[in-house]
Amino acid sequence: MTTAPPPHLPPAAMTAKYPNRRLTIGVDLGSSGVKALLVDSKEGILAEANCPTGLYTPFAGAAEADASEWIQAAQKAVRGVVTRSGIDPQDVAGVAITGMVPAVVVTDAQGQALRRPMLQNDARAETEVQELSARLATVGVDVLGRTGSAVTQQSVAPTLMWLKRHEPDVMAKAALVQGSYDWLAAQMGARPHVEHNWAIESGFFDLHTDRLIPEVLEAAGLDAALLPPMARPAQLVGALNAAWARATGLAPGTPILAGGADHVLSAYAAGVEAPGDYLVKLGGAGDILAAANQPLVDGRLYLDAHPAPGRWLVNGCMATSGSLTRWFSQLVGGASFEDLEADAATRPPAAVLCLPYFLGEKSPLHDPSLRGAYVGLDLAHTRGDLYRATLEAVAFAFRHHVEVFAEMGMELTRGMVANGGSRSTLWKQITADVLGTDLTPVANHPGASLGAAAVAAKGLGLLDSWGQVRGFVEFGETFHPDPVRAAVYQDAYALWRQCGEAIRPLSHALAKGLRAGVPTTLGKAESTNLGNAAQ
């Protein structure tokens, strides 16, 4: 699909021309599906629709998606909210897209994906991470200070270096590199762009000037022309083209506004705003985001810009969370999460320790060669013990992040929990017990799709302030830590950290052996679809 130029009318003129336009649609492109949410800026959420997509692992450490599935799922989800709500498509004032960060979509000059997009938890470029880090250190580039993050598997340059080495035919045809949601917006009709937080987390852009860093491009052997201009959330970037209008039922020319990173907009929509507010996200990956009024930098974590100007989100992102529970369910014959939780609820805390590094680990360890493990097994242990250990492992990893926040001098005061895993009463209680603090669920939180719809509304002048999004959110009953279990987890966490250190060299040895079998061309590799259901 081709892109269309942006409309000439500014947002205020559009809403004046169509006074009944107070509806916006937020589209969330996730690791297991696409969600669309229709929001009335006065009345709140009107309709939602979800369409599943696949996750592919052609070899150890790889995490990919199918771009054609993204298109089909997005079109179906948007049409779903239009049809279910019975709205007049002319009343939709605008659309914004959110998605995984920093996923990598390599396209030709027509905007078509040249290969399957690589997701944010893809860990194939370990060698390239080391090479780029060494080159930048040699020329004295302060990567952490200039970008807000160290060079890690989260960085985009090492991924592109891997492609140049292993798939040179793809890079020879490459015209643009975009994030998942920016690419989808371009398919819909937006001009090519990269949103502010994709730009920050990519490692290509200077945190303080918003400009590309030439030393990074040179060290990676990449052309600056691959990166389109940056756009900030709520910025007008285009209009819906005719093909997408036919596929979705929306009116041609519907404004498209820049969205944002899914974890950022999910936190924003949950009410994370004042310093000390934080959100634990039990999604396919695990995220924890804490608000700050200044850009705080630490090499173990990531830094993102809050959609509201002048605010920041210090955050960590783990490689697995709900994806690990999904894997466990499949491993034991497709048992339902309800049955697994019932089993786990009857078992004692920390009877078995699990290391959740089944896709390596991103923050705060940044070690793609780590591998998962269950430690302390005996013949008396049950499926429930193992599943409980899986839930506890993710909670322990969140605690590791909380310790880093404390070392940075950040005080966390108001904790919330959201995303698919937050439907699990047991998992929420375990997380509160492990963290030793109250956690308030965001009830039926639609997540980043709500944040995207609110960003579109703010850009179109339908919301007076960024904080108005809180009026669309409901909170559940707060989970308080149980003192007895919290004491058990205090000791277990120390052992869990020791286990991680002890197994690290074994993980590295195993990972080195696995890498010897990495294919040079993904088309020759067998792909495994991990399924669409997410905890």
Q: What pLDDT shows up at residue 31?
A: 84
Tell how strand 440-443 and strand 414-418 pair up: parallel
Tokens 């009463």 label which residue?
A: 425
Q: Do 11 and 459 touch, CB atoms closer than 8 A? A: yes
1: CB partners within 8 A, 6+ apart: 71, 111, 187, 241, 243, 244
- Residue pLDDT, tens place only, 262-280: 989 999 999 998 999 999 9
Give the integer Cα–Cα distance in Å for 207 and 185: 24
Give the integer Cα–Cα distance in Å for 263 and 119: 14
Q: How confident is the model at residue 300 (pLDDT cuts 50, 70, 90)?
A: very high
Residue 10 has pLDDT above 80, yes or no: no
Superfamily of domain 11-263: ATPase, nucleotide binding domain (3.30.420.40)
Sign of CA dihedral 399, 429, 503, 321: negative
Please list the alpha-helical segments (H only) found in 108-202. Answer: 126-138, 143-147, 156-166, 168-173, 180-188, 196-202
Tell how strand 255-261 and strand 92-99 pair up: parallel
Q: What pLDDT shows up at residue 514?
A: 63
Residue 170 has pLDDT above 50, yes or no: yes
Q: What pLDDT shows up at residue 516?
A: 58
Q: How confident is the model at residue 152 (pLDDT cuts 50, 70, 90)?
A: confident
**Using the 8-state DSSP alphabet, how is residue 317 labeled?**
E
Which region among 6-20, 167-181, 286-300, 508-522 has the lowest average model confidence (pLDDT)? 6-20
**Using the 8-state DSSP alphabet, how is residue 473 labeled?**
-
Highest mean pLDDT among 57-71, 217-231, 517-531: 217-231
**Using the 8-state DSSP alphabet, how is residue 118 labeled?**
B
Q: How confident is the model at residue 1 (pLDDT cuts 50, 70, 90)?
A: very low
- Span 172-186, mean pLDDT? 98
pTM greater than the 0.75 cutoff: yes
User: How crowded is residue 168: how many other Cβ atoms within 10 Å of its Cβ?
Assistant: 11
Tokens 């591998």 label which residue?
A: 371
Residue 157 has pLDDT above 80, yes or no: yes
- Residue pLDDT, tens place only, 376-426: 999 999 999 999 999 999 999 999 999 999 999 999 999 999 877 778 999
Q: Do 195 and 230 touch, CB atoms closer than 8 A? A: yes
Judged by DSSP in three states, 7 sits in: coil
- Residue pLDDT, tens place only, 186-208: 999 999 999 999 999 999 999 99
| Position with higher pLDDT, 444 vs 135 | 135
| Position with higher pLDDT, 26 vs 470 | 26
Q: Which helix (H) or strand (E) holds 260?
A: strand 255-261
Which region among 7-16, 124-133, 357-366, 501-510 has the lowest average model confidence (pLDDT)? 7-16
314 bridge partner residues:
290, 303
Give the integer Cα–Cα distance in Å for 145 and 297: 7
Judged by DSSP in three states, 528 sits in: coil
Nearest Cα to Cα of residue 23 among 95, 77, 83: 95
Q: How confident is the model at residue 3 (pLDDT cuts 50, 70, 90)?
A: very low
Q: Which amino acid type is present at position 41?
A: S
Judged by DSSP in three states, 479 sits in: strand
Q: What pLDDT shows up at residue 153?
A: 84
**C-alpha of 442 from chain center:** 18
Nearest Cα to Cα of residue 163 among 152, 174, 150: 174
**C-alpha of 257 from chain center:** 19
- Residue pLDDT, tens place only, 53-112: 998 989 888 999 999 999 999 999 999 999 999 999 999 999 999 999 899 999 999 999
Residue 342 has pLDDT above 80, yes or no: yes
Provide the mean pLDDT of the chain: 90
What is the C-alpha end-to-end distance of the chain, expressed in Å?
33
Give the integer Cα–Cα distance in Å for 402 and 336: 31
